[in-house]
Chain A
Amino acid sequence: MLQTVDVKKTMSPVGVLSPHEQRIEHGEPVGLIGDAALGKRARIHEMLKGFREQPVHLNVARARLLTESMKVSEGQPTVLRWGKALAHILAHHPIHIEGDELVVGSAGPPGRYAVVYSELVTPGRFYTQPDSLVPSESDEQLVVTEEDVAILKDEVLPYWEKNQYHGALMNGLPDDTRRLMERFFVVTATAAGRSMLAWAHDFDKVLRRGLRSIKEEAERKLSALDPFDAAAQVEMRPFFEAVVLVCDAMVGFAHRHAELARTTAADEPRAERRKELLEIAEICERVPEHPARTLHEAVQCQWFVQLVSRFEQAIGGGVSNGRIDQYLYPYYRKDIDEGRITDSDALVLLESLWIAMARSVDVYAKPGQPSLTDGFAHWEATTIGGLKPDGRDATNELSYLILRSKREFPLNYPDLSARVHARSPEAFLRAICETIKEGTGFPKLFFDDEIIPSFLMKGAEVAEANDYCVTGCTEVKMLNRDAIATGCAWVNMGAILEMALSDGCMKSYGEDRVGISTGDARAFTSFADLWNAFRAQAEDVMRHTFIQQYAADTLKSRHIAAPMFSMLHDLCMTEGKDIHAGPIDGALYLGFFDIMGFGTVIDSLAAMKKLVFEEGRLSMDELLAALDADFEGHEAVRQLCLNAPKYGNNDPYADSIGRDIEECFARLAQGHTTAFGGELDVRYVSITSHVPLGLVVAATPDGRRSGEPLSESVSPSQGVDVKGPTATLNSIASTKCAQYKERAARLLNMKLSPASVAGEEGTKKLGAMIRAVCDMKMWHIQFNIVNRETLIAAQKDPEKYRNLLVRVAGYSAYFVDLTPALQNEIIRRTEHCF
């Protein structure tokens, strides 16, 4: 069927801009939007002025203190060493109170900062590489001083170069697996790039009990240890000792802030601010040691916990906030009922927390360098809505207040996630749609109807599955049940395809075979031959993937421990074991591996099936010659490839191949058990890695040229889904193998034109579409409501569009902060406009 777009829709407004685009067109400065900037929230408005212009300072203080402590604790149990190191940091890290802030504490110098995680010596973190560690030029956004360089080079890096996890992991691998890992971007291990996967802490526990109660629990468990039980004395005792140390250190850290607030108050000329500072002092004396009583105490306590977490370790994508509308609700409700605060006060507190998070920037590569997570990526996933543990709807006034803040607060932090289920209130759906229509990419949506059953299949209890929260970009966690902590691998399916077509070799890596020999593709006489070669290469790559994950799990606990994290996890406290140490009794280890280039590979296999094996319009020889020449001089072949069936159009021809691919990997996953007795599931989350992963893959039979990005996450290849969003969603649903439990997140980006969701009618139809997506049991969806013209204009005039937020993959980032390759990739994603 010929696809022509019906253009009779004269009434559909052409050139409609989203509210976000309108503000940028009018050159409005960054601040709270509209009337929100007035009244009590003027304080937040002031703090936001110039925020995006603040340079990012590298914070080496944490690395220096960590190294000092680690040098003197050599040979002691890992968890105790990390407990002592954290206590040392909390006792000596410089502190300050910034401006008129109400929520205090920072993991760096004033303004924006990036904590140096010197223990993570990897090629991906520039500051751990002496060659790339140079002071920054005056105009760079990331400030690295000569003193920073000297401290890192003289005091810090020499110690960690000898004691690092990354090197130990690479040395610990079998030769063939290591060789594969050394070929960049075929299998990309992420275990050593951060200390652990994205996670939220059980903030509720600290708010309700206070750290004193947790310390007392550790002390009780210490004294209950059998003195004659050698295992308990060697394994468990250091853990509980570390917990006691950390609890005291955190309370001490809060008290340092209380003292600073009092001395600052003494010099404060304004009476009102003086009063505030004294209140802050009282709050810091109260929390996190004791249970919180007010919303202000609760927010400050939450921030202290995640702040200390930032000192403790690099959690993937930052510290997630968990179900914030649930655990803060009792304090909000009580303050409102007792007339202590209004909604504006609550918003000031929440937005103070957002600013505190926004100051903390995660730096791997220097700005502008290609990165696996472009755009200073960090995403403090913040969950609202969804079900309560007992299965009733959990939405409350705070859920709506947080959505309102997301519409009025201009920064891309925190990353808001809304849980949607079949019976989510219509009012909640409307508020979500109104927020999505703003055009900044928030909130991303997670569907309980898919995620909860997936937890149940894996052995979770209903109540804990119902209580899951979003962490990172599309991960989900049951905070006291899940225990997977090691970063999981990215598997380049584009590379697997290339190897299947070239007897195990890849153009990027020359004559030496990367995979296994599967024969000359010219000799394949049927699609089954091709499929078997693909599956054999996939098996080999997955074999190495599983081996590296096993090594990563088992070697990690010699290098890294996280006593603060662990003391907030029920199972770690029961077992007396650090989260990294595994296996922990009763835990579910729900790991995964990401298969990258789903659309690229489906389309490539579909093109070969149709053109070579069914219609005979191309011989394999002709096709391979065209791929070898990167289609130069073979335009007719490329056009045939481009016009073959494509995933994303609800075409069973392509979609059934997608299902076969998922089944192939799910079955490989089924056959494997991890070092800690867990499973690794098939997942489709590319973040921004589909751009660099594409660099090593030669031209592919879908018509993609050599080095171009692979398709992104579970989305169709850029621009090939021409039948509209419903067809795309149907395709995605058709490629799911619901009979396998070895499945996890499917990240889906969808770009809609602002015109298609304009007005009340647009809100209603967007809401209906989201309901339908929930019915289809999708995992996740996020929307870019932006005009293609705006993106192209932003490339030409980055200064004007410096505040333009776009949805990348699992998070929103400033478009101008992205590399040109990723910018182009986002522009090429299909914009659905009717």
Chain B
Amino acid sequence: MIDETRQSEQERGLVFNIQKFSLHDGSGIRTLVFLKGCPLACQWCSNPEGQDVSAELIYTRAQCIGLSECDACLGVCHAGAICGGGDGKVDIDRRACDACGNCAAVCPSKALEMSGEFMSVDDVIRETEEDETFYARSGGGLSVSGGEPLAQARFVKRLLAAARSRGLNTAIETSGLCSWKSLEEVVPHTDQIFYDIKCADPERHLRTTGVSNQRIVENFTRLRHDFPAVPVVVRTPVIPGVNDSEHEIQAIVDIVNEAGGASAYELLPYHGFGEPKYRKLGLAYPLEHARPPSEAVMAALTKIAAQVVLESTGV
């Protein structure tokens, strides 16, 4: 019995969002499946709820209707992590909270919600196929994102294989930080790869994302070499003060070209939209004073980005 449970848990993926009607992540109209857990901790991360490898409590304070109306969460918290705040709304003691989810289950306004749910391949396929009419007409399909999807490589492999066998187009969005074995396992089931190269300078990469880019660059080079037929779109989020200089983008272009180019290179200007999510997780936002790059900066960088050797790999 115990073994069976363990087995099935391993076969499930920890999903924190399934987003339909995604228009900017590959061909056609797509469904994006976000897997939880990421080895990077980028300062600008706009999906911080995707970093941790376990389910987490999300608290949207604005939605709390206050203790004068409702105190359901207080009664069910066994960790003593919830108490009344000065303005009548509740506060969460993150150190005490063990993310059991009891409070989220009783919160009437969904001010308290859990992020992260174990789903089987069948569950995800079923939900993805709800939109198959739209894939058929647009050439869309399933994209797996995160977090870092390759942190759950076995699940992703089985998910993409199942999707392919059912006629769905498949894509992954990856940071590239994983064992080569993980990547090697997943790529044969993937129609298109979105690969982030965030920064060329290993030291700066370490400082702003918590990890070195060495493995990321190696994996990219090997990916282009071993799987030349799989189209890879390289993306760089342009973060002021981190990589918004011409020589930094030039260095990334050089890495890409040395590996044999890409099917496209996209620069994504920084935005601060992820910021409210940090508050909901009880975290501080590392880039509090950052501003999106100016149009002039983006125009200059885009010119350099155009030097990437484009392969027509039949996207």
CB-CB nearest in chain B for A776: B133
Chain A residues engaging chain B, CB cutoff 8 angstroms: 1-12, 14, 635-637, 639-640, 642-643, 650, 723-727, 730, 756, 761-762, 764-765, 768-769, 771-772, 775-776, 832, 834
- Residues of chain B within 8 A (CB-CB) of A727 are 20-21, 130
Query: Which B residues between 60 and 79 are near A, CB-CB below 8 angstroms?
Result: 65, 69-70, 72
- Residues of chain B within 8 A (CB-CB) of A724 are 19-21
- Residues of chain A within 8 A (CB-CB) of B46 are 6-8, 10
Q: How far is the CB of A173 from chain B (nearest CB, A)?
A: 46
Q: What 0/1 pattern do residues 11 to 28 of B give for CB contact below 8 A with A?
A: 000011111111111001
**Alpha-carbon distance A762/B23, docked complex (angstroms):** 8
A-B contact pairs, 29 of them (CB 8 A): A1-B117, A2-B58, A2-B114, A2-B115, A4-B49, A6-B19, A6-B32, A6-B34, A8-B46, A8-B268, A10-B237, A636-B70, A637-B108, A639-B109, A639-B110, A643-B108, A650-B130, A723-B20, A726-B21, A727-B20, A727-B21, A764-B138, A765-B29, A768-B134, A768-B138, A768-B140, A769-B138, A772-B137, A834-B23
Q: How far is the CB of A353 from chain B (nearest CB, A)?
A: 35
Report if A726-B29 is in contact (Cβ < 8 Å); known contacts: A772-B134, A772-B136: yes
CB-CB nearest in chain B for A641: B108
Report if A7-B271 is in contact (Cβ < 8 Å); known contacts: A771-B137, A834-B24: yes
**B136–A775 touching, CB < 8 Å:** yes
Q: What 0/1 pattern do residues 185 to 206 of B give for CB contact below 8 A with A?
A: 0000000000000000000000
**A11–B268 touching, CB < 8 Å:** yes
CB-CB nearest in chain A for B127: A1
B268 contacts which of A10, A639, A772 (Cβ < 8 Å)? A10
B154 within 8 A of A: no
Number of interface residues of B (CB under 8 A): 50
B285 within 8 A of A: no
Query: Which B residues between 20 and 49 are near A, CB-CB below 8 angstroms?
Result: 20-25, 28-29, 32, 34, 46-47, 49
- Residues of chain A within 8 A (CB-CB) of B110 are 639, 643
**A640–B108 touching, CB < 8 Å:** yes
- Residues of chain B within 8 A (CB-CB) of A643 are 108-110
A775 contacts which of B19, B109, B114, B137 (Cβ < 8 Å)? B137
Q: How far is the CB of B10 from chain A (nearest CB, A)?
A: 21
**Alpha-carbon distance A725/B134, docked complex (angstroms):** 11
**B108–A2 touching, CB < 8 Å:** no
Q: How far is the CB of A280 from chain B (nearest CB, A)?
A: 48
B16 contacts which of A2, A8, A771 (Cβ < 8 Å)? A2
Q: How far is the CB of B272 from chain A (nearest CB, A)?
A: 9
Report if A834-B134 is in contact (Cβ < 8 Å); known contacts: A6-B32, A768-B29: no
**Alpha-carbon distance A771/B139, docked complex (angstroms):** 12
**Alpha-carbon distance A765/B25, docked complex (angstroms):** 12
- Residues of chain A within 8 A (CB-CB) of B137 are 768-769, 771-772, 775
CB-CB nearest in chain B for A6: B19
B65 contacts which of A1, A4, A635, A776 (Cβ < 8 Å)? A635
Q: How far is the CB of B101 from chain A (nearest CB, A)?
A: 11
Q: What 0/1 pattern do residues 89 to 128 of B give for CB contact below 8 A with A?
A: 0000000000000000000111001110100000000000
Q: How far is the CB of A803 from chain B (nearest CB, A)?
A: 28
Q: How far is the CB of B77 from chain A (nearest CB, A)?
A: 17
**B21–A832 touching, CB < 8 Å:** yes
- Residues of chain A within 8 A (CB-CB) of B34 are 6
Q: How far is the CB of A315 from chain B (nearest CB, A)?
A: 37
- Residues of chain A within 8 A (CB-CB) of B25 are 9
